Amino acid sequence: MPEGALAGRVALVTGAARGIGAATALALAEVGADIVIADVTAPEAAAEVVAAAEAQGVRVVTLQANIADPAAAAGVVNQAIERLGRLDVVVNNAGITRDNLAVRMSVEEWDLVISVDLSAAFHVSKAALRPMLRQRWGRIINVSSVAGVMGNAGQANYSAAKAGLIGLTKTLCREVGSRGITVNAVAPGFISTSMTAALPEQVLSAAIAAVPLGRAGTPQDVAAAIRFLALPEAGYITGHVLHVDGGMAA
């Protein structure tokens, strides 16, 4: 891992108070990036992440916002630049689930997941691209899912949103590549988080049985892939979907 490879760069990670987002913020701090943690929860919820990132010697800013609101998303980007001077890396990680069979899924369940898991990434990316285009350098990394590649029963809203992120990734890469900006996605599989920890043992066992590597992934597994895509060494990779799924979608 190139020490200090992102020194002087600023990275915005959405949904970074816990799970994959928190691990990503720390992974980017480890290579020298100053970090903006954006989350819908109060800043205090990210206190542990902030302390660990600051221990790496980088600056850390926490912002509370509902980025499904276009104005709030733009505000996060503007505040990041105002407080840290620039913006170089965006990790669109914020996401929720509201699982249900399609025939039972309410309009509210559909709209909420689409707004948080897909539309928010568009709003943040749109705002972030303006400064990135001016500086002719940037990294946008969208956190999709194996569900967006394969589909998953009971997750029509989530799968559609995550598939939409892949389409967004591939389109943006074509629009901004000439300005030195790469746009990629990661597609995690079954990852151990607080959300999966609440699943019944039978469901957990079945999920792990579907993974060729025979184990659940960790937030750190996903964060390492995201960090790689943010590094200068990954500058010729764009429009790519990097699977971090233990072989689930092989």
Q: Is the pLDDT of residue 1 over 70?
A: no
pLDDT in tens, 68-106: 999 999 999 999 999 999 999 999 999 999 999 999 999
Strand pairing class (241-244; 181-188): parallel
Q: How far is CA 122 from CA 75, 142, 207, 215, in A?
A: 14, 10, 30, 32
CB atoms closer than 10 angstroms to residue 36: 27
236 is catalytic: no
Nearest partner of 60 among 69, 72, 48, judged by Cα? 48
Whether the model clears a pTM of 0.85, i.e. scores above it, the answer is yes
Going from the N-terminus, what domains does the chain have, and what CATH number goes with each? 10-243 (3.40.50.720)
Please identify which of the residues 67, 158, 161, 162 carries the catalytic annotation.
158
pLDDT in tens, 150-185: 999 999 999 999 999 999 999 999 999 999 999 999
